[in-house]
Structures are given as structure tokens and as C-alpha cells.
Amino acid sequence: MISVDPFDLVIFGGTGDLAMRKLLPALYRRYVDGQVPPTSRIIGVARASDASDNYRATVRDAVQRAVKNVDAPTLDKFLALVSYTGLDATTDTGWKEFAADLKTHSGKVHVFYLSTSPSLFVGICDRLRAYGLNGDGARVVIEKPIGKDLASATEINDAVGSAFAEKQVFRIDHYLGKETVQNLLALRFGNILFEPLWKAAHIDHVQITVAETVGLEKRASYYNTAGALRDMVQNHLLQLLCMVAMEAPASLDADAVRDEKLKVLRSLKAIGANNAILTTVRGQYRAADRNLRRAQGRSRQLALGRCAVLPADGQASANSRVGNRDSVSFDSAFDLFAERRTDRAEPLDPALAARRRREAVADDQITRSWRPALAGSAARHELRRGLRCVAARCL
């Protein structure tokens, strides 16, 4: 087990979906495994004013939903490390007191996790610097997406770089923390059965599927400006593509792995305005049914959801031309066919239930038709035709 020094972890956006569904349950698991020293603190920060006791109750519910077989006494001890601070990232109100509190624990590592909209990154980093919270013991973690285009990404990186040294900055994609994703590297380079066969001569094409089972939760305002492409494709799925296509790095050092990933990214064929319509199929979530219960689709949640990026007539949306994987086509860069489930679902009347059952059967037939590996352009054409029918019905 890796030992960890005492720390103060500040989660900006501490009441958000990412913090509640991923970060705080993960921190509880680390606590159970002995990697959160008892003198550490976990501070949730958000705009709303609230008491720490109320925040702990919310965190308790989040951990109990996400973690199986929670031990109540252990959870109580973990929650004793958790507190809450109401702070607006766009004004200076409350920052002086916030900084003073952190400076009373100056011997610890201070980690600032920016689980917020990218539009707040610059303001937060500017204030962390202005109030002297960017010392050698500070770390800043930036969640994807970093901006909405090249100009905003450059602005964010410049602002972060002016406040923190590069060694203090961690640009993170939480998707890479999934166990299955982490196992990809071991499967690729440590498995004597697969490693010799992971070559273009033996692989026709690769499909990468992301099957989501949750909706937007509390992310509607973020998703309405970011959308599925920025939220999923340009980070999560490109990372997966890199891990599947890259050559073995010289070491597992972060820089060595990054260099191999960059080689993959630089070899991809770009999808631009002139060929996007030929290489992608776009659609939206619609309401999904599970056991005749209704779940809200995209039209009720205000964000782009159902989306597939697929090849057209044999033209791959992404081709890896790296080393021995020359000309292996990655046929599905983004395939998000998900059902939205909710505990607040309502029973449907019999007529509506029967109609939706028929729609579900039609969707299943289409889905089964494109899940298998696609061998030729005729199959790809049928796949696109089926998806266009789905998209037309959903839009």
C-alpha cells in the first residue's frame, strides 16, 4: 500500500455530481484502506451557504449509494474529516477567511480539486495565487474538459501556469480511474497471449463502446453548454483509443505514457466541417423504459445525449498509423446508447406501455444489428441506415 502524507483536500464544486458520485465515495474507499491519514481534512466548497453537518449528511447518503456494505462506524470516522465552506469563485467574499484557515495547517499538502465548470478555473486559480495558497506544498487538479475550444483552453492553461508550477498541476480524466480502463495496460503489454497478436495483421478494426446507465443528474446547465462531444469524446474516449492503439512506452512514467499517446493522436485523421456529415451519425436520448417505468430523455433534461461517431462506407472516423498497427480502423469512436433509470419513475398506462414495448423491440433489433464486428462496406451502410432511423425518430 502506498503511504500518503497528511493533506487538506479542497473540492471546488463539492456539491456537484462528480464529487458525490465519484470523488467522495473514492475517498471513503481510500480511507478504509488506510490511505487517508486521520489528521487530513476534506473540505467541500460550493457557492451555496450551508452547514457542515448538512453537507456530511449529503455525503453520507452519496457514499451509501455508491459503496456496498458500508461499515457505519468507519463511515462516521470518515465523515469527521469532512467539512463544508460556502465560497463564490467569482468574488473575493470569504476568501480571506478561507485562506487563513488553510494556512493554519501549512505543514500539510494542500490539494485543490477543481470539479467545476471550466469557466471558473481561471477565477479560482487567480484567487488561490492572490491569497497565497499556491506555495510549494500546493497541488491543483483540473477536471476535463479544459475549456470549450483552443482559445479558452489556452487561456485556462496560461492562468493555471501563472499561479502554479507545472509539477504542481494535474490535468485529470477521472474515467482513467475505472478498474477496467486501468487493466487495459496490463492486458496490452503484460499478457503473453494478447501482446503478440495486438498487431494490424490480426485486427480488422476496433469498436469502443460507452454504455451509460445514468442521465444528467444535476449537470443540465453544464451539459447544455458542453454537450456529449466535449464531455465524452475529446477526453474519455480519445484516452481509451490511445490506450488501445499506442506502442509500449519506455516506462510507466507519466511523461513516457503521454508521449506514446501523443503519437497516436497526431496520427488520427481529423473530422472537420467538410467530412463530419459523412463520418458521424448524431442523435439524442429519448425516454427509456425498464419494467414499464418511465425515465426522462434528453428533451426533458436539456442536453445532447445519444450520439454515435461511425465510419461511412468503409471510411474510418479514426485510423491509427502507429508502428505495427498501421491502418487499423477504429470504427466507433463514440457509441452512447444508454438507458436513463430513475427511482422517481412513474407507472405507465397500458396503451402507452404497449407502444413503448414495441419501440424497445425495434431499438433492440437495430442495436443487435450493429453490435457485431462489421466486415465490409455493405454492413457499415446498413449500420448507418439503421442508426439514421433511430436518430430520425429521436430528434
- Please name the amino acid found at residue 379: A
Number of C-beta neighbours around residue 174 at 10 A: 16
Rounded Cα distance, 237 and 248, in Å: 19
Same domain flag for 33 and 69: yes
Same domain flag for 158 and 206: no
What are the distances in angstroms from CA 20 to CA 48, 56, 177, 342? 16, 11, 16, 17
Q: Which of 172, 94, 168 is nearest to 134 (CA)?
A: 168
Coil, helix or strand at residue 45 = strand
Rounded Cα distance, 277 and 272, in Å: 9
In a domain, residue 180? The reply is no
Whether the predicted pLDDT of 335 surpasses 60: no
Rounded Cα distance, 55 and 85, in Å: 9
Number of C-beta neighbours around residue 254 at 10 A: 10
Q: Which of 281, 299, 269 is nearest to 336 (CA)?
A: 281
Same domain flag for 312 and 193: yes
- Tell which of 116, 140, 172 closes a domain: 172
Rounded Cα distance, 242 and 250, in Å: 16
In a domain, residue 181? The reply is no
Which DSSP letter does residue 340 get? Answer: -
Mean pLDDT, all residues of the chain? 75
Same domain flag for 247 and 212: yes
In a domain, residue 178? The reply is no
In a domain, residue 304? The reply is yes
The CATH number for 21's domain is 3.40.50.720
Q: Which residue do the cell numbers 479544459 mark? A: 146
Rounded Cα distance, 138 and 168, in Å: 7
Alpha helix segments (H runs only) across 7-111: 17-18, 24-32, 52-66, 72-79, 95-103
| 22-46 pLDDT per residue, tens | 899 999 999 999 999 999 999 999 9
In a domain, residue 296? The reply is yes
pLDDT number for residue 199? 83
In a domain, residue 20? The reply is yes
For residue 240, what are the contacts with CB-CB under 8 A and spacing of at least 6?
175, 181, 184, 208
Asked if 188 and 195 count as a contact pair (C-beta separation under 8 A), the reply is yes
Same domain flag for 37 and 154: yes
Asked if 144 and 115 count as a contact pair (C-beta separation under 8 A), the reply is no
For residue 55, what are the contacts with CB-CB under 8 A and spacing of at least 6?
14, 15, 44, 82, 83, 84
Same domain flag for 214 and 326: yes
Q: Which domain holds residue 64?
A: 7-172
The larger pLDDT score, comparing residue 330 to residue 57, is at 57
Same domain flag for 191 and 146: no
- Tell which of 172, 205, 240 closes a domain: 172
Asked if 137 and 7 count as a contact pair (C-beta separation under 8 A), the reply is no
Rounded Cα distance, 127 and 89, in Å: 8
Q: Answer yes or no: 236 catalytic.
A: yes
Q: Which of 32, 31, 23 is nearest to 6 (CA)?
A: 31
pLDDT number for residue 284? 63
Same domain flag for 104 and 243: no
Same domain flag for 191 and 144: no
Rounded Cα distance, 7 and 308, in Å: 42
- Tell which of 146, 172, 198 closes a domain: 172
pLDDT number for residue 46? 92
Asked if 391 and 281 count as a contact pair (C-beta separation under 8 A), the reply is yes
| 189-240 pLDDT per residue, tens | 888 888 888 888 888 888 887 776 666 666 677 777 777 777 788 888 888 8
- Please name the amino acid found at residue 173: D
Catalytic residue among 105, 110, 202, 236: 236
Same domain flag for 327 and 287: yes
What are the distances in angstroms from CA 164 to CA 142, 154, 237? 12, 15, 28
Averaged pLDDT for residues 168-176: 86
In a domain, residue 166? The reply is yes
* Confidence tier at 347 by pLDDT (50, 70, 90): low
Whether the predicted pLDDT of 18 surpasses 90: no
Q: Maximum Cα–Cα distance for the chain, whole Å?
A: 67
Percent of the chain residues past pLDDT 70, beyond the cut: 68
Same domain flag for 143 and 238: no
Rounded Cα distance, 204 and 330, in Å: 9
Same domain flag for 100 and 216: no
pTM of the model: 0.68
Structural domains counted in the chain: 2
In a domain, residue 67? The reply is yes
